[in-house]
Structure 1
């Protein structure tokens, strides 16, 4: 029994250590504070650092983000992208995008590097060009994850990466007894991508779970 407790304690400590492994600067911390004030979700530091590495490894010059929030994930992505990379970020909440633009300005990011589009992602995503993007991040409205994931796969070039934040949904997804609507939707998205022959997928435990799928 004590061995199991020790193992769980060790895993918790390892998770906390990995989350803090790449520290956030003042710009990110202020963006995170605004997210708390506005009541919107923000990617964890560990998730952000992983997204930065993915963007850098891809040399991602064209990125789409579904769910701008206050710009926390966007800042991480932009720091991993080449200097000429452009992030297209979509959010239905204008107040969120105003906060994100403030964070971009504080970080010294040139306005030409970001394209903030207000509106429902379901309305905006169909207007984007198929096969034109290196990375698509889905990070808002879990109810709509199936629609956003399918749109993201359509937008990716071969070798591009789809990332789904919150793929563990507060730790509920691994528990088969959890069958509420949102948990079921998020769980099914993971299973669908795992079985999808168009992609290779993996689930990283960073933050609240980051599901990654590379387009074949």
Structure 2
């Protein structure tokens, strides 16, 4: 009975914010090419935080097909800029299709290694960093994010529960351990971050840069 109730709660949360035609089209592209994208509730949460802090400069590490970028842009003013990075040129191409409604002046889509390119961005120039990286790059990307964010900026990490494996100590595969350790380290850095874990989608780790 408890499991059924939780499934109903999850479904209610996921359907609380519906996806418009552009978001639905982007999700269809994701299904077509097998790109793992966060749920609608996670996307809506990212837009909420972007709008909450009046973000002007946002960087996203892993574009996918542009679905998460679309959600982020829903929370940004027209004079804000989103920089989105993906290692796969095909993802960048698909993201351009997904983001066609937005002017190129508002979006920078960059093809290349996300972790390497994060390292080239300007210190303290960003209000929000959104990460959807390979778990093995996550710890290093968190360090780069602290450098990139202004004080009061938001770090938004999707898939923080690693397909539900992270809470289970019996799960010891490389990816799960990497996500678990990155979250534990972020939580322990209480002189640099204030951190919380939000149970939507596959988990969202949100940190406020001190």
TM-score bracket for this pair, using the shorter chain length: over 0.9
CA distance in 1, matches of 2:39, 2:168: 22
Shift of 1:16: 1.2
Shift of 1:43: 1.4
Which residue matches 1:212? 206
CA distance in 2, matches of 1:77, 1:115: 13
Which residue matches 1:83? 78
Shift of 1:183: 0.3
SS in 2 for 1:185: helix
Deviation digits for residues 78-110 of structure 1, max 9, x if unmatched? 0101111100000010110111111111xx211
* Structural RMSD (CA): 0.8
Aligned pair 1:151/2:156, yes or no?
no
Aligned pair 1:177/2:170, yes or no?
yes
Runs of 4+ in 1 over 4 A off after TM superposition: none
CA distance in 1, matches of 2:76, 2:143: 24
Which residue matches 1:3? none
Deviation digits for residues 35-65 of structure 1, max 9, x if unmatched? 1222221111000010010000010010000
SS in 2 for 1:127: coil
Q: Which runs of 5+ in 2 are unaligned?
A: none
| Equivalent residue runs for 1:16-95 within 5 Å | 16-95=11-90
Structure with the higher fraction of residues in helix conformation: 1
TM-score (norm 2): 0.97
Shift of 1:167: 0.2
Aligned pair 1:164/2:157, yes or no?
yes
TM-score (norm 1): 0.95
Which residue matches 1:110? 103
SS in 2 for 1:149: helix
| Equivalent residue runs for 1:186-201 within 5 Å | 186-197=179-190, 198-201=192-195
CA distance in 2, matches of 1:146, 1:125: 13
SS in 2 for 1:189: helix
Deviation digits for residues 171-198 of structure 1, max 9, x if unmatched? 0001111111100000111111111120
CA distance in 2, matches of 1:181, 1:123: 21
CA distance in 2, matches of 1:205, 1:35: 23
CA distance in 2, matches of 1:20, 1:97: 28
